[in-house]
Amino acid sequence: MTPLVSVVSGPRARLFACFLRLGTQQASSLQLHTGASLAAKNYYEVLVLGGGSGGISMAARMKRRVGADNVAIVEPSERHFYQPIWTLVGAGAKQLSSSFRPTVSVIPSGVEWIKARVVELNPDKNCIHTDNGKEIKGLPEGFDHPKIGSNYSVRTVEKTWKALQDFEEGNAIFTFPNTPVKCAGAPQKIMYLSEAYFRKTGKRSKANIIFNTSLGTIFGVKKYADALKEIIQERNLAVNYKQNLIEVRADKQEAVFENLDKPGETQVISYEMLHVTPPMSSPDVLKTSPVADAAGWVDVDKETLQHRRYPNVFGIGDCTNLPTSKTAAAVAAQSGILDRTISLIMKNQTPRKKYDGYTSCPLVTGYNRVILAEFDYNGQPLETFPFDQSKERLTMYFMKADMMPFLYWNMMLRGYWGGPAFLRKLFHLGMS
């Protein structure tokens, strides 16, 4: 077997989760430079850079390929978060404590944890170095004020729930930035949950609910967009397209938006509650790395997940330029493909299994309803179950709230969950 060195990039505040594998098919070993004696040795056959969902999943899979002694993971954080549940935390339906576990508890047994942050990637020399984007004006300091929160950070997700509880009367504003984001459905999920909460607490008639999005449509897949538009109309929600949040005046409870169709034209809206989806980007260590494309994302083949310029580099997850939604479901599907890709390359064979862009977005539309959106690179539905998933369903809510966290902690992070493709085949065979 040809020695393979791999590097995987992990979570960072502005990106929330990412995963990059960097390796070599040459006989040379990986150079690992740390600021202190953090690692048991300075080279590994597989080095995983980052302890996000993709990093932990692939570490588990690579352990089975090459043995635990040959795998290490670089990750500075003490806690590992299941971020998809933060939508429900922000709406008071789940506790924040249910969303995290100690990092040491999710790292595969026998795999070494190097607690450090990567500051440089050099694929030409098979080397990494460790140490021990755009922002909205008025943030993050604005989060110190009441009435404002964000489900995209462990530090601000509970502020969303507090703002929701403290709402009395006025505008409840929800935003979507002019950048790629993790889970593009999440910014509107909290809007639907907030509307349901206002109805439950008798405040709906006093709430003017506004969704200001920089996009030109409510959702990228027509089937689900049509279903969401019906909900928006039925619940009297105001949706404004091509509106980008550029400033928050938290002391005055004002949000400033720019009209993307008319650059320079701005609008100031007062708020009683504001949920911010922050602009996101790849980490700086990737932007300045040779593995990045012009936009700063890891440049990989969309079918094999192998780097376009470095045949010994592989990518998975949010930091790649894969043209699909950045979700945990996508990472699960990619992990199965990447496992097979790396296995064949280790044997000097050509990868055969191709990633179709599968991703999933459980669109939470209430405290007991979910539209389960599943689709591929072409924006075509790729549904698992033998019924119309564009309909709101209680069963899909339970799957989102309870089943998926179980699958995440007990199967995906252990490298045993590669997405629902086999279920889809099983159901479709049963219907034929």
Q: Which residues are catalytic?
A: 183, 361
Burial class for 236, CB neighbours closer than 10 Å (0-12, 13-18, 19+): exposed
Provide Rg for the chain, Cα atoms.
Answer: 22
**Exposure pattern of 365-401 as b/e (b: 16+ CB <10 Å)?**
bbbebbbbbbbbbebeebbbbeeebbebbeebbebbb
Alpha-carbon span 2 to 41, nearest angstrom: 20
Dihedral angle over CA of 128, 129, 133, 135, nearest 10: 140
Cβ neighbours, 10 Å, residue 52: 29
C-alpha to C-alpha distances, 295 to 256, 287, 319, 421, nearest whole angstrom: 26, 8, 11, 31
DSSP H helices, 23-150, are: 53-66, 86-90, 103-106
The structure tokens listed for 322 are 């894969």
112, 39 contact by CB (below 8 A): yes
